[in-house]
Amino acid sequence: MKAKRSQKSTAELPKLPLRLLTAVPICDGHDSAINTLNLEFIRHGIEVIYLGYHRSAADIVRAAIQEDVRAIGISSYNGGHVEFFAEVIDRLKKQGADDIGVFGGGGGTITAADAERMKKKGVDEIFFAGTSLVEVLEFVKKTYGTPAKPRLPSTRAMAPHSERDIARHLTAAESGAAVAPWRGQTTPSAAPIRSRTIGITGPGGAGKTTLIDELALRFLRSNPRARLAILSHDPSLVGHGALLGDRATMIYSQDDRVFMRSLGTRGQAGGLSPATERCLQWLGHAGFELVLIETVGIGQEAMPFGSELVDKTVLVMSPDYGSRLQLQKIVMLNMANIVVVNKSDLAGAKTAAAEIEQRLALNQRGQKLVLTVAKRHRDAGVDQLFALLKP
Ligand code: B12
């Protein structure tokens, strides 16, 4: 992999967007309030990693650390909030991450007396029914608008290659900083190491995230000790933040052996982030056996990956791409090593597979075609894809 030589000194670093993680606790499906708040946050330039509802304190803390967020916003309606918020704070402390703030709300289900108890346990603020979005925004900007220190990787406070340490290096990579070497290691630019890397791309709605989650399950089962990293991209909205929501639909990727990082494209076209390559270098140094990269939903002319970035590329399509003519316009059909027709239980999937097979045959590159139903457990197509991804 080519090394990036144009890293910036700390003085030139761009101001990074504020990153928050939001979630709804376990046994709670009230996500209406948090969905509204998420949109308001991204409208004001914040990157929101949304974990979804029915999430355990352990999932929330693991994700917050991996995503290196400044604070966690929890929306809780089904009771048990005093204990749940306390568990989140306790787990953050145990993992040396108590600089990550915790705040939240829950309509009228959190009483003023509960809120006082929660604040005593370390919650920064609780918002009650009737709070305006402006008020929430003002609190967030005032309380979390400046980074807690230290934000850059510190060899003093963090065990090398701990989740916190890796997360901080990725943040530094996102800022473009010339990151300090890990203890006992050379800098990524001096000695690039790359994990086996698979690039997964395709139009929005084809089922890439579900497919990756199923691949994660197969990876965890087939390698009892190995670690997997996932770099998941979502678009940054022009002039706004980004809703980084891929975690919300993932189950197996919440495993302790999976390190997942959500990246906003931050103005770069093509499906990846300006920092993807630098992040890959650090993941290589951290020793992950496999890295899966998910691009944003791509269009006809996108070619997100070069061979310097990934070992294999997978194009995921759904059967409803339109007419056969459309297939002539999709550049990735020439480039991908493997083409997946996901949702192959839908009507028209057989015709789609036949048309894509013909299109690939014209390329004469030995590209593989796999039919999957990623939402189905133990899908034979996903097994076949997993086998094809092995070295
Ligand atoms: C809408 C609703 C539902 C919808 C949820 C839809 C959805 N996808 O969210 C449906 C109909 C599905 C539903 C189902 C149930 N519900 Co319900 N539901 C409500 C209701 C009426 C409104 C909640 C709401 O979304 N309000 C809109 C938001 C925007 O307003 P808000 O709450 O005031 O939020 C503000 C602040 O609290 C704050 N805030 C909130 N969250 C956060 C997070 C952060 C980070 C920040 C900064 C701020 C913040 O900012 C908001 C903006 O002002 C409440 C009653 C109530 N009035 O609160 C019951 C209520 C929460 N539900 C209740 C119950 C019991 C249930 C069910 C168990 C019913 C059943 N037996 O099936 C199920 C459980 C569902 C589940 N899987 O968890 C009870 C909970 C009782 C309790 N905790 O003791 C309530 C209180 C009703 C009641 N009085 O009995 N429910």
Name the residue with the closest Cα to ligand 1, atom 61.
77
Q: H or E segment at 74?
A: strand 71-75
For the segment 3-26, what is each residue's pLDDT rounded down to a tens digit? 343 444 444 445 789 999 999 999
Q: Assess whether the C-beta atom of 107 lies below 6 angstroms from ligand 1.
A: yes
Q: Looking at residue 266, what is its pLDDT? A: 87
Q: Assess whether the C-beta atom of 319 lies below 6 angstroms from ligand 1.
A: no
pLDDT band at 2 (very low <50, low <70, confident <90, very high): very low
| Average pLDDT of the residues of the chain | 89
For the segment 280-301, what is each residue's pLDDT rounded down to a tens digit? 988 988 889 999 999 998 888 7
Q: Assess whether the C-beta atom of 49 lies below 6 angstroms from ligand 1.
A: no
Q: Looking at residue 349, what is its pLDDT? A: 95
Cα–Cα distance for residue pair 248/280, rounded to 1 Å: 23
Sheet of strand 19-23: strand arrangement: 125-127, 101-105, 71-75, 19-23, 47-50, 242-244
- Report the residue among 76, 77, 109, 134 best suited for mutation to probe ligand 1: largest number of ligand atoms under 8 A from its CB: 77
pLDDT of residue 182 exceeding 80, the answer is no
- Report the residue among 27, 28, 30 best suited for mutation to probe ligand 1: largest number of ligand atoms under 8 A from its CB: 30
Q: Looking at residue 173, what is its pLDDT? A: 87
What pTM does this model have?
Answer: 0.92
Q: If you measure from the C-alpha of residue 26 to the centroid of ligand 1, how many angstroms do you get, rounded to a whole number?
A: 14
pLDDT of residue 150 exceeding 80, the answer is no
Chain centre distance of CA 343: 22
Q: Looking at residue 1, what is its pLDDT? A: 36
Q: Assess whether the C-beta atom of 192 lies below 6 angstroms from ligand 1.
A: no
Q: Looking at residue 49, what is its pLDDT? A: 97
Please tell me the least confidently modeled range out of 5-14, 55-64, 65-74, 181-190.
5-14
Report, as an integer, the average pLDDT of 236-254: 89
> Which amino acid belongs to residue 117?
R
Report, as an integer, the average pLDDT of 47-76: 97
pLDDT of residue 105 exceeding 90, the answer is yes
Q: Looking at residue 307, what is its pLDDT? A: 76
Q: Assess whether the C-beta atom of 106 lies below 6 angstroms from ligand 1.
A: yes
